[in-house]
Chains A and B, each alone.
Chain A
Amino acid sequence: MNAGKILGLILIFSAFAAGLVIGKNKSSAVAPIITAGSGGAAYESGFSAKDNELTLSGNSKSVAGPPMTDVVVVVNDGESIQAAVHKAEPGTTIQVMPGTYKETVYIDKDGIRLIGVIKEGNRAVLDGEGKLNDAILYSGNNIVVENFTITRYKGNGIMSQAGNNWEIRNNIIIDTGVYGIFPQLGQNGVIEHNVVSGIEDAAIYVGMSDNVHVAYNDVFDSVAGIEIENSRHAIVEANHVYNNTGGILAFITPGLPIKTTYDVIIRNNFIISNNHPNFAAPGSTVAGVPAGTGILVMAADDVVIEGNIIRDNKNIGILITDHAHAANITFDPESDPYSDGVKILNNTMINNGTDPIPEIKAFMLSELKMGNPDIASIGPSDDSCIINRHRYVTVGIKGFSECDFTNTNSIGNYLLPPVPPREIKSEDRGKIAYLGICAGCHAYTGRLIGPPVQIIQALYIDDPQGIADYIANPIKRRDDYPEMPPQNYLDEETRMAAAQYMLEVKN
């Protein structure tokens, strides 16, 4: 959304049409509809209505569940956190004492709780010294990262690739390059009480994820404060978001493999003075965000904006737009370019739009609007609604209806109890391991790389344990076959199940 490019021909045409509508409205002099923010009907998203019994009760944000074991390992200053992760069994809590740790920590196992110990204000500091790539990188499920200070990494502070049920809490992240906190391709996560600043893209970036709660974070001096991208069922609430280029963003980036963003609630945040000059890398999506944008919705559907204090954002308070009006955006026939179903409830908007980008000024002019814009909607936005529109200086929202609800009180959060791993029955476990691994080298009859299964069956009648033990630690037994590589990466249960299955196959 480059300042120079936001205006397309479409905009001119739609603005012209909108201007005609205005003229009519003026002549009929409709009194404003005033809606009380409290006591009205509550918004229900499709998700909450359908899956309400699944969401966590009360204020609990424990999506990683209790520790899987009571094993606690302590890492002291001068030791390596990664070494502790290496040795840790799933379920281990790793407590990191105050000190400075110059390393990248990666976690490819489940249930690791990485907890910094704060002593009289002193934290465990992960320092990338401007040389290391990422501070913490995980792909496991049920990961908790708490209480660290992370600084001077070139890539991300905390990032994931997949992994469900994560909790990222109470970290201070300063100047870590591209993203401060970046969970990706996972479900069910909490990001709360973090202080993130000085990030050249998004301080908190939820990418391609489901069921996410971003709350009570302090996010400043970055290009984008909080970004919800190609994600669903996300709540962004009670964050303090200031002095970024753009405050809170909900959008679809086309060209990503997961194509939708919907069901996002942005509520009760302080979105203040996000006027920082844009310092994003050229070509990045946020490089096009105009400085001074409080909330930006682009191509996301069913975004509810409620109860925010949006103040002193010089471009505009809330900008709703589509892919056609954005620069730097690629083409993707599989993603819907429009922001539909936007719901703007009561927000406290003060002193926004004092210096809007020329495109918004021109858009205002085309609708014969005066003043400093709080809300602009550029491009089609079907099924969108707003209450108390008379309070704001708006442009492009003629098509918005009156919302028939006034709050989101019925939705506490979109979090789930810890998402369980896929349940695999023992016999399926054996089959999967046998066909997925053993069958690559062992045919039922005839020679592949290893001896035929028929011969193995004859050798190990009624002795699956014998097979399970052998494959964990094979020794060369046959001169005419190569030595079998150990299969000890399979856990005992899986090895046993595969052995049982192998003894039973008939072809």
Chain B
Amino acid sequence: MITRLLTLVFLALIFPVSASASPPVSIVLRESCPPSFEKMPDGACKLVTLYGFYDSLQGAGLGGTQTSLPQYRDGFTPQQIDLGRYLFFDPVLSKDGSISCASCHHPDRGFSDDLPRSIGMGGEELHRAAPSLWNVAFLKKFFWDAHADTLEAQMLGPLYAPNEMGNTPNGLLASINSIPAYRVLFKKAYPQRKEESIVLDEIYQSLAGFQASLISLNSRYDRYAHGFHAALSENEVEGLNIFRSFVARCAECHTPPLFTNQQIAVIGAPEPEGMAIDVGAQKTFEEPRLKAGFKVPTLRNIDRTAPYMHSGRFDSLHAVAEFYNGGRGHAVPEGVDLQLHWHISSPELTDYELDRLVDFMGTLTDESLKPQIPQWLPSGLTPISHKSTTHTAIITTKSGESL
């Protein structure tokens, strides 16, 4: 078996893939749901977590330790989710085949990258940091400035922005439809459909299904929350109590169980040196009071996603904690008028307390359901990123095809 795989690896390396070539191995979509999902009689995968033991006020999914989750996206089939996994890691989704979703949302980097601001297709640095995708199934707003309401609407941004993946809807359709393996897989994932060709909504839905399977709810904090208090050390419990205290007030916006209340907050975090102030949600809502307002991010797996803040100004969680401790508005540039959030105060925490906060944030890490990066992609490209010249040949060949 191993020998055979190795042979295939070599074959793939030696022979550049062409548009008409089959993928190096036959890819079969999974029929079972990802871990933590139950397969329902209709074939859809339903998320099941221990938070199902609890309720929350107004069903809002906000509160304390034993509080239910907010409404979430699930109900995708195993095949759709698995197909989404291939698409997610496939650079064929970008215009020049050089980057995939995973280039900026890498599973080994907390589904973010380790950059202050992400790098787009052409090597251009973008204006904001890549947010983690862990637990996106629970989000109601997407992007730092909250300008999209669904995963499907969100992905149009990076897919088609010229400085991100640079594709166009037609370009994307053309590339995916030209790959026979994808045609087979989409038929498996969408057995009911009548059209022969893959359509955009199927691509979007599969990607959404995969992203909605990125669940992180089994951290040491969660064990504490479910009642096993020895899951956290004394220092970490101390950190938890500072975190939720009304001096630090972290939990007022980073509210359990997701550690975000999904609201917009103007906190006055500094931009990196030399960068102009980002107006954030002001643009989304055409509302000056939301100038420099950004969506409150989840803190789950936060110690995996440095650097921090919307434009990556801070390298460490300690630096972030220091920022919040630095006094209301201390980092707002001269002459800039911001309506800072009412919980941005001057808590005057000690260094010891800041260290405990960092200890506590470290307990929010759980990557046990990290999906596997596919070994092979239907496109024949190397998962995540592909810099060789073979793929450009494919794209060129494909571009002539019509749908």
| Contacting pair A489 B223 (CB below 8 A) | yes
Main secondary structure of the interface of A (DSSP, over half): loop
- Report chain A residues within 8 Å CB of B256: 161
Docked pose: A437 CA to B65 CA in angstroms: 17
| Contacting pair B52 A436 (CB below 8 A) | yes
The residue in A162, A285, A429 that gathers the most chain B C-beta atoms within 10 A of its C-beta is: A162
| Contacting pair B289 A432 (CB below 8 A) | no
- Report chain B residues within 8 Å CB of A400: none
CB-CB contacts below 8 Å: A396-435 with B: 421-422, 424, 428-429, 431-433, 435
- Report chain B residues within 8 Å CB of A160: 64
**A-contact bits for B226-259, CB 8 A (1 contact / 0 none):** 1111110000010001101111100100011000
**Which one of B35-43, B89-97, B184-192, B311-319 is at the interface?**
B35-43
Say yes or no for B72: interface residue by CB 8 A criterion: no
**Which one of B171-179, B198-206, B340-348, B385-393 is at the interface?**
B340-348
Docked pose: A437 CA to B247 CA in angstroms: 34
Given A283-B342, A440-B36, A443-B35: A162 touches B247 (CB 8 Å cut-off): no
Tell me, rounded to whole Å, the shortest Cβ–Cβ distance linking B58 to chain A: 6
| Contacting pair A186 B57 (CB below 8 A) | yes
**B-contact bits for A302-343, CB 8 A (1 contact / 0 none):** 000000000000000000000000001011110000000000
| Contacting pair A137 B342 (CB below 8 A) | no
Say yes or no for B218: interface residue by CB 8 A criterion: yes
Tell me, rounded to whole Å, the shortest Cβ–Cβ distance linking B13 to chain A: 27
| Contacting pair A432 B226 (CB below 8 A) | no
How many residue pairs, one in A and one in B, have C-beta atoms under 8 Å apart? Answer: 180
Say yes or no for B5: interface residue by CB 8 A criterion: no
Number of contacting residues on B, CB 8 A? Answer: 66
| Contacting pair A257 B63 (CB below 8 A) | no
The residue in B49, B50, B230 that gathers the most chain A C-beta atoms within 10 A of its C-beta is: B50
| Contacting pair A331 B57 (CB below 8 A) | no
- Report chain A residues within 8 Å CB of B62: 162, 185, 208, 257-258
Say yes or no for A210: interface residue by CB 8 A criterion: yes
**Which one of B80-88, B127-135, B260-268, B375-383 is at the interface?**
B260-268
CB-CB contacts below 8 Å: A142-192 with B: 154-156, 159-163, 177-179, 182, 185-187
Docked pose: A133 CA to B290 CA in angstroms: 30
| Contacting pair B251 A488 (CB below 8 A) | no
* Identity of the chain B residue whose Cβ is nearest the Cβ of A445 in the assembled complex: B32
Other contacts beyond A156-B246, A443-B35: 16, CB < 8 A: A106-B237, A134-B245, A162-B64, A185-B57, A185-B63, A257-B62, A257-B255, A281-B345, A283-B340, A422-B55, A432-B50, A432-B53, A489-B223, A489-B230, A490-B228, A507-B39
| Pairs across A and B, CB under 8 Å, 7 listed | A162-B56, A185-B57, A257-B263, A284-B342, A332-B263, A491-B227, A507-B39
Q: Which residues of A contact B (CB under 8 A)?
A: 86, 104, 106, 108-109, 133-134, 137, 139-141, 154-156, 159-163, 177-179, 182, 185-187, 208-210, 253, 255-258, 281-285, 328, 330-333, 421-422, 424, 428-429, 431-433, 435-437, 439-441, 443-444, 448-449, 488-491, 507
